[in-house]
């Protein structure tokens, strides 16, 4: 199976032994065994009835050598009707059972895959895009389920051809050879078709990707073009792309349009040969007229299963490697491992890092022998350049990642000994891009504490700038936030995320401060919300705003995973060390002095360069 799994493989992908894979798959199908048995029986019945139809019709033709009795006429027609009804009925049962069995298996598999994904720690999500994980949970599981349809369809057609083949052989072997001679020809034709189709489609898709992006660009650019009165030039660009698209598509259409006519012409050619050869066989008395008819009718029933057979193996491989991808997702071990699952009481918020070493990737140490003590209730700001290890400190406290050496103690207890869910309930985390789920504002505020009362939320909301921010929302707390919070402004999203923490009242608060630009009024409200949280929790602030570093009790300056300076804003700035440099790089333009001098500065600079 290793060969096919190279299709957009991820690092966690593994190759399963065929026996393991089979056992694993069987496990999912086991609860469906009753349905599977019935499906197999019905598959056989559909195939049998399908093969019987031409046989019966040809018997009927045999009757026409003289004047048939009314009874046998009725019997033949009745049999054809019965077989037709039976095929429909068996098919009905078959499709019904298959779709149920598939749906059950797919639901179970995707549920397992999702559960496993949610259990993975964040290092997993850093490495693998959530979009690809989503497609494993939805489309790979579905592809896997398709295996059942694929197998029953092909099995049914194959068995039907097989039965017919036996019947034909039993009637006359030489005529049968004419039919069987078609098999390799159609097979080769089918393979050729697949190769051509794949090549033109691939070429077409590549060309279309370019064209599509140009078309997209020219559509997006309309407003700009109009602004500068450049419609003519953009129309030209569009027309070129549109024409290219047209030519590529016509070429592809031409290649794909050839296939079925060729196949059908071939089928007619075979029919013509069979009419001629069979006719002579009848005259020679080798076969009956009815048998001759059976041979003619059977031709079609050999052609199409063979066409399908050429793609069957690839489809099976696709289904199996889809299952492998899902199993790999389920089986990947999480890096964060707890040594015990102790209950976590109300915490004071005392945090100690003891000689902690941590890396995301082997050989790229982020924290080295890192020690830090955060006292209960303290507000600690962490500053430094990108990659200094600031957010690692915060993420280790949240237990999002596994560290490699040293200890982290919360209220004097090893962080690894906690029940993880229980521990995280004591934490409030606001990430750099605050994330909201579709639903109402209230639902998002209650996300970490489902039982929070409306009154309590409203009371807290009012403590932020008199609750004005709620008034700007169309339906207050009941406003829909849209997918990922898209209907709210960045500032509003931050306020909601902070409200979530306020309602939750965690012992430890972790904030990765946003860098987005927010209007000064909302900014002020955010600061108020933040002040409220800082009063109630031990806080670790990865600060990007000047007002935040100022409100911290202690600032640590980090570089290359070490603390190189610590103190409070005033003291550090006066000291003129690393913090003063950082201040000049990141915070200077946020100060009131800068704001006051901006005009003179900008005017002075405008003429230079």
Partner 1 sequence: MEQSTTAEFTSPQQYKTDRRSPARWVISHGLRQWWVLITALVGALGNAGLMAVASVQIGVAFNVVSAPIFDPQALLRVFFIILAAGLGRGVLQFARNFGFEYCAQRIERNVRRELYASLLSKSMTFHNLQPVGDTMARATNDVREVNFLFSPGLNMVVGSLSFLIFPLIAAPRYHISLMLVPGVFIALYFIVLRIYMRGLAPITEEVRESFGGLNIRLAESLDGIETVKGSAQESGEIGLFDTNVTRYKKAIIAQGRKEAKFLPLLLYAVALAGGLLHALLLFRQGLVDLGGVVGYFGLLLMLDFPTFASLWAYSRISLGLAGAKRILELMNRENNLDQNLAGHARPLRGEVVFSDVCFRYGEGDPVLENVSFKVEPGQTVAIVGQTGSGKTSLARLINRTYDVSGGQLLVDGVDVRDWNLENLRRNISIIEQDIFLFSRSIADNIAFGNPEATREQVEAAAKAAQAHEFILSFADGYDTVIGERGVTLSGGQRQRLALARAFLTDPRILILDDSTSAIDSATEDHIQRAIYAAARGRTTFIITHRLSQIRWADLILVIRGGRLVASGSHEDLLRESDAYRRIFNE
Nearest distance in Å: CB 337, partner 1:
15
The DSSP secondary-structure symbol of 446 reads T
Q: Which has the closest alpha carbon to 61: 349, 295, 348, 254?
A: 295
Nearest distance in Å: CB 422, partner 1:
8
Q: Of the two residues 354 and 531, which places its CB atom closer to partner 1 in the complex?
A: 531
Q: Of the two residues 176 and 492, which places its CB atom closer to partner 1 in the complex?
A: 492
State both tokens at 300: 């079609």
Nearest distance in Å: CB 40, partner 1:
17
Q: Of the two residues 40 and 438, which places its CB atom closer to partner 1 in the complex?
A: 438
Tell me how far apart the alpha carbons of residues 591 and 451 are, in angstroms, rounded to a whole number: 41
Q: Of the two residues 16 and 302, which places its CB atom closer to partner 1 in the complex?
A: 302
The torsion of the CA quartet 282, 287, 293, 299, rounded to 10 degrees, works out to: -110
Q: Count CA atoms within 13 Å of residue 114 on its CB side.
A: 11
3-state secondary structure of 313: helix
Nearest distance in Å: CB 365, partner 1:
23
Tell me how far apart the alpha carbons of residues 371 and 407 are, in angstroms, rounded to a whole number: 9
Nearest distance in Å: CB 1, partner 1:
27
Q: Of the two residues 23 and 199, which places its CB atom closer to partner 1 in the complex?
A: 199
Count of C-beta atoms within a 10 Å radius of residue 602: 9
3-class secondary structure for 456-472? HHHHHHHCCHHHHHHHC
Q: Of the two residues 361 and 588, which places its CB atom closer to partner 1 in the complex?
A: 588
Q: Are 121 and 401 in contact (CB under 8 A)?
A: yes
Q: Of the two residues 331 and 596, which places its CB atom closer to partner 1 in the complex?
A: 596
Q: Of the two residues 121 and 456, which places its CB atom closer to partner 1 in the complex?
A: 121
Tell me how far apart the alpha carbons of residues 43 and 568 are, in angstroms, rounded to a whole number: 78
Nearest distance in Å: CB 204, partner 1:
11
Measured in whole angstroms, the distance separating CA 351 from the mean position of its chain's CA atoms is 37
Burial class (CB in 10 A: 0-12, 13-18, 19+), 421: exposed
Q: What would you report as the CA-atom Rg of the chain, rounded to the nearest whole angstrom?
A: 36
The DSSP secondary-structure symbol of 57 reads H
Nearest distance in Å: CB 344, partner 1:
10
Question: Considering all CA atoms of the chain, what is the largest pairwise distance in Å, rounded to the nearest integer?
Answer: 118
Q: Of the two residues 169 and 266, which places its CB atom closer to partner 1 in the complex?
A: 266
Q: Of the two residues 192 and 598, which places its CB atom closer to partner 1 in the complex?
A: 598
Nearest distance in Å: CB 605, partner 1:
4
The torsion of the CA quartet 559, 563, 567, 568, rounded to 10 degrees, works out to: 50
For the chain, the residue count is: 609
Q: Of the two residues 22 and 192, which places its CB atom closer to partner 1 in the complex?
A: 192
Q: Are 357 and 368 in contact (CB under 8 A)?
A: yes
Nearest distance in Å: CB 285, partner 1:
11
Q: Of the two residues 328 and 436, which places its CB atom closer to partner 1 in the complex?
A: 436
Q: Are 322 and 7 in contact (CB under 8 A)?
A: no
Helices (H), 221-288: 222-227, 231-257, 259-283
The DSSP secondary-structure symbol of 561 reads T
Nearest distance in Å: CB 405, partner 1:
23
Task: Give me the phi and psi of 11, to 5 degrees please.
Answer: -65, -30
Contact partners, residue 105, CB within 8 Å, separation at least 6: 28, 29, 32, 144, 145, 148
Nearest distance in Å: CB 592, partner 1:
6
Tell me how far apart the alpha carbons of residues 349 and 352 are, in angstroms, rounded to a whole number: 10
Nearest distance in Å: CB 331, partner 1:
18
- Cα 546 to Cα 184, 185, 435, 521: the distances in Å are 77, 77, 23, 16
């Amino acid at each position: 199976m290793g060969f096919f799994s190279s299709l957009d493989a991820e690092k966690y992908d593994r190759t399963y032994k065929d026996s393991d894979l089979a056992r694993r798959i069987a496990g999912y199908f086991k609860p469906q065994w009753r349905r599977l048995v019935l499906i197999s029986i019905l598959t056989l019945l559909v195939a049998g009835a399908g093969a019987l139809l031409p046989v019966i019709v040809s018997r009927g033709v045999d009757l026409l050598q003289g004047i048939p009795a009314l009874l046998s006429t009725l019997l033949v027609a009745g049999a054809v009707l019965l077989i037709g009804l039976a095929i429909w009925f068996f098919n009905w049962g078959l499709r019904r059972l298959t779709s149920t069995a598939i749906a059950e298996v797919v639901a179970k598999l995707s549920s397992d895959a999702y559960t496993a994904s949610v259990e993975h720690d964040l290092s997993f999500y850093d490495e693998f895009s959530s979009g690809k994980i989503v497609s494993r949970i939805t489309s790979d599981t579905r592809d896997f389920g398709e295996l059942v349809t694929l197998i029953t369809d092909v099995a049914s057609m194959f068995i039907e051809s097989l039965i017919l083949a036996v019947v034909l052989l039993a009637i006359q072997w030489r005529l049968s050879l004419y039919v069987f001679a078609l098999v390799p020809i159609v097979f080769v034709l089918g393979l050729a078709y697949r190769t051509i189709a794949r090549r033109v489609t691939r070429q077409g898709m590549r060309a279309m990707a370019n064209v599509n992006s140009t078309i997209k660009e020219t559509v997006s650019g309309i407003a700009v073009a109009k602004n500068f009165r450049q419609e003519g030039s953009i129309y030209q660009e569009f027309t070129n792309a549109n024409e290219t698209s047209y030519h590529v598509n016509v070429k592809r259409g031409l290649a794909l349009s050839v296939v079925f006519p060729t196949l059908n012409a071939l089928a007619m050619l075979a029919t013509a040969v069979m009419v001629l050869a069979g006719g002579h066989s009848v005259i020679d008395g080798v076969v009956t007229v009815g048998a001759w008819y059976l041979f003619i009718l059977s031709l079609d029933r050999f052609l199409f299963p063979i066409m399908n057979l050429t793609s069957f193996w690839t489809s099976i491989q696709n289904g199996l490697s889809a299952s492998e991808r899902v199993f790999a997702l389920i089986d990947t071990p999480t890096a964060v491992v707890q040594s015990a699952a102790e209950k976590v009481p109300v915490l004071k918020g005392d945090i100690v890092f003891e000689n902690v070493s941590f890396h995301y990737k082997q050989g790229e140490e982020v924290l080295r022998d890192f020690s830090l003590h955060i006292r209960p209730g303290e507000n600690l700001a962490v500053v430094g350049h990108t990659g200094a290890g600031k957010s690692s400190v915060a993420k280790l406290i949240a237990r999002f990642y596994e560290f490699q050496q040293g200890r982290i103690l919360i209220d004097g207890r090893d962080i690894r000994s906690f029940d993880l869910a229980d521990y995280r309930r004591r934490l409030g985390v606001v990430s750099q891009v605050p994330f909201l789920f579709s639903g109402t504002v209230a639902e998002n505020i209650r996300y970490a504490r489902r039982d929070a009362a409306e009154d309590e939320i409203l009371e807290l909301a009012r403590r932020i700038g008199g609750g004005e921010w709620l008034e700007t929302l169309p339906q207050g707390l009941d406003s829909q936030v849209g997918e990922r919070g898209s209907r709210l402004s960045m500032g509003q999203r931050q306020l909601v995320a902070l409200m979530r923490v306020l309602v939750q009242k965690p012992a430890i608060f972790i904030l990765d401060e946003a860098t987005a630009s927010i209007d000064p009024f909302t900014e002020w409200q955010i600061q108020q919300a933040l002040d409220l949280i800082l009063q109630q929790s031990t806080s670790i602030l990865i600060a990007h705003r000047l007002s935040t570093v100022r409100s911290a009790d202690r600032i640590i300056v980090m570089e290359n995973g070490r603390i190189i300076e610590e103190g409070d804003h005033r003291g550090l700035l006066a000291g003129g060390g690393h913090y003063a440099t950082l201040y000049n790089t990141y915070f200077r333009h946020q100060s009131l002095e800068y704001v006051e001098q901006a005009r003179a500065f900008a005017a002075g600079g405008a003429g230079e360069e």
